[in-house]
Structure 1
Amino acid sequence: MKIPIISKIFRSRADPKNSMWQSAYQFFFGPTSSGKMVNEKTAMQTTTVYACVRILSETIASLPLHTYKRTDRGKEKALDHPIYYLLHDEPNPEMTSFVFRETLIGHLLLWGNAYAQIIRDGRGKVMALYPLMPDKMTVHRSEAGELYYIYNKEGQEHILRNWEVLHIPGLGFDGLVGYSPIAMAKNAIGMAIATEEYGANFFNNGANPGGVLEHPGILKDPERVRKSWNSVYGGSGNAHKVAVLEEGMSFKPIGIPPEQAQFLQTRKFQLNEIARIFRIPPHMIGDLEKSSFSNIEQQSLEFVKYTLSPWLSRWEMAMKKALLSPSEKKDYFIKLNVEGLLRGDYKSRMEGYATGIQNGFLSPNDVRELEDLNTIEHGDVYAVNGNMLKLEDIGAYAKKESDTDKEGGEK
């Protein structure tokens, strides 16, 4: 099929509305084995899902994002490149870089895809980036093999070419479109919703399961008795009130007590189950049962290495692919810096800096920049301890001394 003419509305921006539309993953979302409806909105009402999405979104959004240029000595910040300011400060006049990245990573975690429209001038220079709602976007391929995107805005379809879209796909079947973690794990999330609803109803019923009011005779109006009982003893605010029964009536509770149904254990298991989906250490969402002062630091380092690093690589490569021209890709690259998350305590940092300065791979100004301090004059000197010798020099010196000893002995 031929790609239709692009609508004029996309020459400026898409102006998407945050509303539900037919999702490409509709067959994944829906009822679960627990009977609860799971989609990206109901999932976010679960505290564990909300906490996991918030942790990843805010963490990635807060990392320094720089565009670099390769040099003979390594790299330097490409402050004059057009996309440096867009990515580091303001992708568009309405958003900061933090809000833009937080929004897109939220989309990526809930829908499995993140989209942003790329606004370019007549020369192809990137002028702005605007987030697009993933549930309104579909990806297609033309007969010529070119990918293009159809965005549905208020029932009207608009076509975007591949160079007009920054697309960050998650794990997917075909490598082009990711699938939603929420949809793939809907049964686990549905069970968490069901247990939370059960707990709310349990306390709404006065922290007592349902029961039977027994009357020795025949009641003429059982509905009135039921309403009267619920109005006085229903709700958590009426728990533990003393019941007054007339006419020989008695109350017999029925149902399974929460401790027998392992209600609390089930809720706790679902917490870890959802954290496992997003690969979040339990201590970061408030579960400190198996955490201690000695292992939390290690878990935090593993969070950076095994959880954040794949997401950051996905982001960096997608931005380089979409925002840099073919000629720029060999000289420029985009990097999210995680050094701040890997910093140890003050004592450990100072000991590490001292080792670096003494061995010549750090200068005082390097250390001051790492600590967010102003540089000082003559602080770019790299020095080593004077009593250090190269191994080859040590060998030559030893050989010379040995020869001298032999000559002395012969005499």
Structure 2
Amino acid sequence: MASFIRTLLNRAAVSPVSFAPNRGNGYFTSWGQPSGMTAQMRAMGSVGTLFSIVNRTSTSTAQVEWKLYRKAAKPGAERTEVTSHAALDLWNKPNPFMPRTEFVEVEQQHIDLTGEGWWVIARDPRSPIPLELWPVRPDRMDPVPSPTAYLSGYIYTSPDGERIPLRLDEVIQLRMPNPLDPYRGMGPVQSILTDLDATRYSAEWNRNFFLNSAEPGGIIEVPGTLGDAEFDQLRMRWNEQHRGVAAAHRVAILEAGRWVDRKFTQRDMQFAELRSVSRDVIREAFGMPAFALGEVADVNRATADASRVWFAEQMTVPRLERFKSALNFDLLPLFGSTAAGLEFDYCSPVPDDEAAENAELTTKVDAVVALVNAGFDPAAACSAIGLPDIAFRGATPTAGGPLKLGA
């Protein structure tokens, strides 16, 4: 293991400042140890609002199509789509067991829940070209900080506890930057763990309320001390007569004892208000408005279209940009010279605004008409405004008067 670290340090670039403690035995101690990441991922399955948000963001990100392009030779020119390349094949099917949509959905779940997403790259030992991409849980990955080169490598901890060292070119990390840790990410769930716990506990309290006689708890007072046999007999009789919803509101018969109500009711606990506040807090952490989860009082075509556009622009596009950066700056360079001049890009998920497009087209046509009436060449006017070259028919403005639409 020590030789592995020395090898990584020897070939890593030297960073201008130190990002990690200069300790000889501290390379495998990540100062961002993700002790709470397991709880953050588990929360998705226990809090309905969190599940709804993460499920919606991850599926919308996964459904977007991707294409590979050859960059334009000069600014303003169109890119050329590349339909056959090893990098494109890899991205469409990252590994034999999942298509791209599932791979992206898994990664986006990890990012939304923990602030980090990790890809581990598999290769044929005889070739440096990446052959497979595997998503791994963030709580099983540890960066290996370097006091001189920023980062030396990574350590993956398997389910059975084995620690597997990985080189820099075997791992791609996507993260929401953590202001306190340059090696780890920070997600919205980290800021609301207490609220998530309160939401889960309130739901469990309500469940136990019905399982435990559908009545608030209380105390049985006895004048003296009960022996073990008497205590067990009292508890057994009470459970037989009063435990469970079907036994609720039965009259209690106590021998040499007195029932003392604790006076806490569901109204006193205000669980309905608590869960409503928790939903608002969760949505606030993700920047998710109520309408994005279907909570719309007045639904019509205009509000529905506006909601779709907002969600695509504010929630889906930023997540796609994170994947785009990883593909173009981390994955494509691993394909060497065959990927020179290439770039991945996603098909925009933002719905077309037909009204705005029609208004823009009308404005452009009016501008062309004005230029032609001023004596400019029709083809040159179309090119200058951004309209396709259309064959011009009819009298010129100088011969037949001003050009009019529909003439």
Q: TM-score, normalised by structure 2?
A: 0.70
Aligned to 1:229: 238
SS where residue 269 of structure 2 aligns?
coil
1:230 maps to a residue whose letter is N
Deviation at 1:305, TM superposition (A): 1.8
The answer to whether the Cα contact below 8 Å between 1:25 and 1:180 also exists between their aligned partners in 2 is no
Do 1:283 and 1:291's aligned partners in 2 also have CA atoms closer than 8 Å? no
CA contact (8 A) 1:29 1:186 kept: no
Q: Alignment partner of 2:98: what SS?
A: coil
The match for 2:205 among 181, 191, 198 is 198
Within 2, Cα distance between the matches of 1:102 and 1:116? 13
Are 1:150 and 2:160 an aligned pair? Answer: no
Aligned pairs for 1:15-34 (under 5 A) are 25=32, 29=36
> Which residue of the other structure, out of 285, 303, 318, is the alignment partner of 1:277?
285
Q: Structure 1 unaligned runs (5+)?
A: 8-21, 31-36, 362-383, 403-411
TM-superposed CA distance for 1:124, in Å, is: 3.2
1:374-385 alignment runs, 5 A limit: none
Counterparts in 2 of 1:298 and 1:234: CA distance versus 1, 3 Å = farther
Contact 1:28/1:183 (<8 A) preserved: no
Counterpart amino acid of residue 70 in structure 1? K
1:162 is aligned to 2:168: yes
In the alignment, the residues of structure 1 paired with residue 132 and residue 34 of structure 2 have an alpha-carbon distance, to the nearest angstrom, of 34
SS in 2 for 1:259: helix
Task: Check conservation: 1:281, 1:303, Cα contact below 8 A.
Answer: no
Q: Is the 8 A contact 2:41 2:110 kept in 1?
A: no
Per the alignment, residue 77 of structure 1 pairs with 81
**Of 308, 317, 323, the match for 2:325:** 317
Change (3 A) 1:224 1:170: same
Distance 1:358 1:315 in 2: 33
Shift of 1:214: 7.1
Equivalent residue of 1:390, what SS?
helix
**Residues 5 and 152 in structure 2, CA contact (< 8 A), matched pair in contact too:** no
Q: 1:191 to 1:217 in 2, by over 3 A?
A: closer
Is contact 2:119-2:173 (8 Å) kept? yes
**Post-superposition, which runs of at least 4 consecutive aligned residues in structure 1 deviate over 6 A?**
214-220, 246-250, 356-361, 397-402
TM-aligned CA deviation for residue 237 of structure 1: 4.2
Shift of 1:201: 1.7
What amino acid maps onto 2:317 in structure 1?
Answer: S
What are the equivalent positions in structure 2 for 1:255-404 lying under 5 Å apart?
255-285=263-293, 288=295, 292-293=299-300, 295-325=303-333, 331-339=341-349, 342=351, 355=358, 390-396=369-375
Whether the 8 Å CA contact 2:191–2:285 is kept in 1: the answer is no
How far 1:117 sits from its partner (Å)? Answer: 1.5
Task: Report if the CA contact (8 A) 1:23-1:135 is conserved.
Answer: no
Cα contact 2:220–2:257 (8 A) shared by 1? yes
CA RMSD of aligned residues (A): 4.1
- Of the three residues 125, 129, 133, the one matched with 2:129 is 125
Q: Determine helix, strand or coil for the equivalent of 1:255.
A: coil
Q: Partners in 1 of 2:137 and 2:246 — Cα distance?
A: 42
Indicate conservation of the 8 Å contact 2:110/2:116, yes or no: yes
User: Matches of 2:84 and 2:154 in 1, distance apart?
Assistant: 31
Give 1:84 deviation, angstroms. 1.0
Q: Once the 2 structures are TM-superposed, how far is the Cα of residue 129 of structure 1 from its aligned partner? A: 0.9
% of aligned pairs identical? 21
Amino acid aligned to 1:52: I
Matches within 5 A, 1:25-64: 25=32, 29=36, 38-42=39-43, 44-64=45-65
What is the alpha-carbon distance in structure 2 between the residues aligned to residue 94 and residue 202 of structure 1? 44
- Report the CA distance shift for 1:165/1:291 in structure 2 as closer, same or farther (over 3 A): farther
Task: Read off the aligned partner of 2:67 and give its amino acid letter.
Answer: H
Distance 1:38 1:95, change over 3 A: closer
Deviation per CA, 1:40-72: give whole Å up to 9, x if none. Answer: 324532222222222222221122122222346
Which shifted more, 65-74 or 307-316?
Answer: 65-74
SS of the aligned residue for 2:177 comes to coil
Q: Deviations over 1:3-22 (max 9, x none)?
A: 44899xxxxxxxxxxxxxx9
Q: Is the 8 A contact 1:169 1:176 kept in 2?
A: no
Listed one character per residue, the Cα deviations across residues 60-90 of structure 1 (whole Å, up to 9, x for unaligned) are 11221222223464224321121112212x1
CA contact (8 A) 2:327 2:344 kept: yes
Q: Matched residue of 2:71: which SS?
A: strand
User: Which amino acid is the alignment partner of residue 98 of structure 1?
Assistant: T
Q: How many residues align?
A: 348
Pick closer, same or farther for the CA change 1:79–1:296 going to 2, 3 Å.
Answer: same
Match of 1:172 among 166, 178, 186: 178
CA contact (8 A) 1:6 1:158 kept: no
- Once residues 368 and 189 of structure 2 are traced to their aligned partners in structure 1, the CA distance between those partners, rounded to angstroms, is 60
